[in-house]
Amino acid sequence: MTAVSFYFQVHQPFRLRRYTFFDIGESQDYFDDAENARIVKRVAEKCYIPMNQLMHQLVTETKGEFRCSYSISGAAIEQMKLWAPEALDSFVALADTGAVEFLCETSHHSLASLADLDEFRAQVAAQKRTIRETFGHEPVVFRNTELVIDARIARAVEEMGFRALLGEGADHLLGWRSPHHVYRPEGCETLKLLLRSYSFSDDIAFRFSNRGWHEWPLTTEKFSSWLAGVDEDDAFIGLFMDYETFGEHQWADTGIFDFMKSLPQALLAHKRLSFRTPGEVALQHDPVSRLSIPRPVSWADAERDMTAWLGNPMQRSAQEALYATLPTMRALEQRGDVSWLGSWRKLSTSDHLYYMCTKWFSDGDVHKYFSPYASPHDAFITFMNVLDDLSRRAQAALEAQAGPNETGPDDTSLDDATATESKTQ
């Protein structure tokens, strides 16, 4: 029997307000709370609440045969607590069904796994506590930001005690292999790797409403027949996608909700198919082989690499400058002042780098869709201005707290060249 494993990503970043050179030293009002509240309320109304009601209905109607999983970033949970508590309540109701698994990730949807493993572990630990306290679940499966994995990240995830790790079934990673089997990352001894079937996933997430697609319209009968047609020995089919696919990216009038409403029964009509969460798949299946992951792989863009976030000099400069300030934030945290690290972690969210992407063609259109800025350069300037102000204020706070015989970490404010570049409107 082949398991169908649905995993949905739920995330909202703390977007920055228009912060110029003239705001540096004058304002600590970094985040656009009005816009963040407006967006999370809109997405809750269009996606989270109606989709959660539907998922609850599907679990009930199938007596728990329909099962799925979610990874909800700590940033999204915090925003729902602030501005859309009814949406968070609907996720808690799903947790109570016993048919929904909640995965772990970094608390702030960051790329800390590539920049600082100590910060990566700290954010994972914070998110684990949040999932436990919010949903009453102890997460056993890990999903890194944007499905970013490599051998080093896999080893760190295994050391933190997770049963399984999710990844992208990229062609350059798998070669001739199928994404429908469980693997073990090279260098790990217990961790299992579950990969996304990007073709089937993107049929729903991206192609569903595309009238130019040769398979449009996508019906549940057609889609279920495709899944039932995979090899008999395939362990699972990983359908991993953004939850905002439903109602936000694919509007209700495309029929996406009706499609999802009828899909479970269509799939269960094929006796060889069942639903399992990622944790259940990992429990039921042993790895078929080891998989070498020498370089980071993600689920973004055609390249399935890190170029969506670190592909140009602006992005790399912003990432390096951000993590150069981390020692100061840690030093302040150790002295009992956690507010600085809290603001820093909101800046560590990968979306800020994503907005700076300068790609063209179809991938560039996707980046533009999600960006609140007029251009990637505007995103870079705003981010660097905020980081400049935060780093200066944090360094001053640390020096003010230090005793006469104490010295703080090296000055982590932006270097002159970077600061000069960032201090433009």
- The residues that are catalytic are 146
Please choose, from the candidates 258, 264, 275, the residue with its C-alpha nearest in 3D space to the C-alpha of residue 217: 258
> What distance in Å separates the CA atoms of residue 194 and residue 36, rounded to the nearest whole number?
33
Phi, psi of 222 (to 5 degrees): -65, -50
> What distance in Å separates the CA atoms of residue 231 and residue 282, rounded to the nearest whole number?
19
8 Å CB contact between 220 and 273: no
Please spell the DSSP secondary structure of 223-269, one letter per residue: HHHHHHTS-TT--EEEEEEEGGGBTTTB-GGGTHHHHHHHHHHHHHT
Please choose, from the candidates 349, 4, 341, 291, the residue with its C-alpha nearest in 3D space to the C-alpha of residue 175: 291
Please choose, from the candidates 49, 282, 257, 302, the residue with its C-alpha nearest in 3D space to the C-alpha of residue 184: 282
Query: Amino acid identity, residue 172?
Result: H
What number of other Cβ atoms are within 10 A of residue 231's Cβ?
Answer: 10
Q: Exposed e or buried b for every residue in 395-419, given b needs 16+ CB within 10 A?
A: bebbeeeeeeeeebeeebbbeeebb
Phi, psi of 298 (to 5 degrees): -130, 180
Alpha-helical runs (H) found in 371-415 = 376-401
8 Å CB contact between 97 and 143: no
3-state SS assignment for residue 374: coil
DSSP letter, residue 189: S
Residue carrying the six token digits 């407006």 = 38
Please choose, from the candidates 346, 350, 319, 341, the residue with its C-alpha nearest in 3D space to the C-alpha of residue 17: 346
3-state SS assignment for residue 290: strand
Beta-strand pair 2-10/236-242: parallel
Residue carrying the six token digits 């104490």 = 406
